[in-house]
Amino acid sequence: MAEPIRLIVGLGNPGAQYDKTRHNAGFWFVEELARRYSGQFLTEKRFSGEACRIQIGSESVWLLKPMTFMNRSGLATRQFADFYRIPVQQILVAHDELDLPVGDLRLKLAGGHGGHNGLRDLHAHLGADYWRLRLGIAHPGDRNKVVDYVLSPPTRDEEIAIRLAVDKAADQIALVLAGDLQKAMNELHRK
């Protein structure tokens, strides 16, 4: 058993123009958890983000959406974790992942940032030993097209696949909060 997760950070960009973009898949995940468990995000200026606390069974967990733009996500996460004394091993970061097909998802502990600017900033502020929920958005095929690709909305079929992955991950959240991350991985990685 791993340590239970006490903070789930969804990565994305603030502002209506980014709401429906692939890069905001992490926001979609924490927003789904808030919806399911009656959480209400409130602006927390001291944490450079929006946060809420939800109760799932006997466990409670903080949800955080950094409002610092993707490439400064580590600042908000560090501020929040420091204030509530949450160790890095008890943080789960949900983010879009170019290296997975659309709709695939993977749960893993630690690793590199893979060129993801949000993860790069998190590494700078926290190190690499946090959990990641990687939500597949696929790669556009040309690295010169990546920025435009992640900052544009997915097709209707892609959005459905990403939302289904978000739902699948949300269905396993009780295992994650209990620290049974291996069982959650087995469920999430099953086709």
- Is 117 among the annotated ligand-binding positions? yes
User: Domains in the chain, ordered, with CATH?
Assistant: 7-189 (3.40.50.1470)
- Is 18 among the annotated ligand-binding positions? yes
Nearest 5°: phi and psi at 128? Answer: -110, 5
Task: Name beta bridge partners: 131.
Answer: 92, 109
- Residue 30 is predicted with a pLDDT of 97
pLDDT tens-digit map of 141-168: 898 999 999 999 999 999 999 999 999 9
Average pLDDT of the segment spanning 38-48: 92
Global pTM? 0.95
Q: Which of 23, 113, 116, 139 is catalytic?
A: 23
β-bridge pairing 105-109 and 91-97? unpaired
Sheet strand arrangement including 91-97: 42-44, 49-56, 59-66, 7-10, 91-97, 131-136, 105-109
Three-state DSSP state, 106:
strand
pLDDT tens-digit map of 63-91: 999 999 888 999 999 999 999 999 999 99
- Is 71 among the annotated ligand-binding positions? yes
Three-state DSSP state, 96:
strand
Q: Is 23 annotated as catalytic? A: yes
Show the tokens assigned to 146.
């990546």
Show the tokens assigned to 26.
């992490």
